[in-house]
Chain A
């Protein structure tokens, strides 16, 4: 493998950290043995590493550290019940959805449930009895859905039909 100073400097940091391939390592080793400038560059990094490692270690961990962690852990709220988390985690398609999409899905579900509740309340306004007093089922009148009929009250069609009578 061909090695020049430019290539050597490019890979120098990885070389010092032992993060180059064996072939590259061998080529760099050969180059640095014969190139004073590159050798000085490498030695400078090596020396820096030695100085950093010579820094005194941090003080010992404070007495009672583990005890304090466990005390805080006990005071913390209990994490989400494992079974619920496991169930949620098992719904892969839910997990894969982006947060805005999840929010939109939840909103649609809520709206659907709310609409159903309103319509159910509307049906029950007449005591829950969908049949008019005559006993004959008139769905449009019973459910106040005349606006779905051909000539709802107040519509042009109703006026036209009334004129025809």
Chain B
């Protein structure tokens, strides 16, 4: 099986059909980052598609000096941040009320409330802090990888995460991760 770098070199030489393999391998990553960052399915798909098209346009100039994944993270991050600057979020109402006597309904309500609180808290972050949080907590990147993806320094990444955590702590302090476990649907907020 060819590596991402080998496929990109082939695409750079004109083999556009080979690009589909790149899309299939990395579409989930691009989609999830865009979704978590923008909180809107339509915008997320648009940005994720744009990221692949930018990648295709850059293929003739691609040099495998850095990991492909890092290269693509950088494209996705930059597009997400650019798109966020043009968007104006609109939030849904409070989570639906459910009968307290139904324990599973109560747990669902708590999960929903927590999910919405996380969404709102993250949406209130400046774009660079939000991207650092997403890459750290949901893509499990270390400081060096985040710095390369965001075209900054490791020290700057540490500062971004520190500030983001200060901002997130207050609205999320009432929640505990093990209250009802993870899972459940992710209700994207309508913008």
Contact = CB atoms under 8 A, between A and B. Distances in A.
B12 A53 contact: no
Contacts of A54: 114, 177-178, 181-182
A51 interface: yes
B177 A79 contact: no
Contacts of A90: none
Interface stretch (B21-29, B66-74, B84-92): B21-29
B184 interface: yes
Interface residues of A, number: 38
Interface residues of B, number: 57
Contacts of B41: 59, 62
Given A45-B165, A69-B23, A59 B186 contact: yes
B45 interface: yes
Question: Binding site of B, secondary structure by majority: helix, strand, loop or mixed?
Answer: helix
B172 A48 contact: yes
Given A54-B181, A82-B13, 17 more contacts: A13-B158, A19-B142, A44-B173, A48-B168, A50-B176, A51-B177, A54-B114, A54-B177, A56-B182, A58-B32, A58-B186, A61-B27, A65-B27, A68-B49, A70-B20, A70-B23, A72-B49
Interface of B: 12-14, 16, 19-20, 23-24, 27-28, 31-32, 35-36, 41, 44-45, 48-49, 52-53, 56-57, 59-61, 111, 114-115, 118-119, 133, 136-138, 142-143, 154, 158, 161-162, 165, 168-169, 172-173, 175-178, 181-186, 188
14 contacts: A13-B158, A13-B162, A18-B142, A48-B173, A51-B172, A52-B137, A55-B186, A56-B185, A56-B186, A61-B31, A66-B27, A70-B20, A72-B49, A80-B60
Interface of A: 13-14, 17-19, 44-45, 47-59, 61-62, 65-66, 68-70, 72-74, 76, 79-82, 85-86, 89
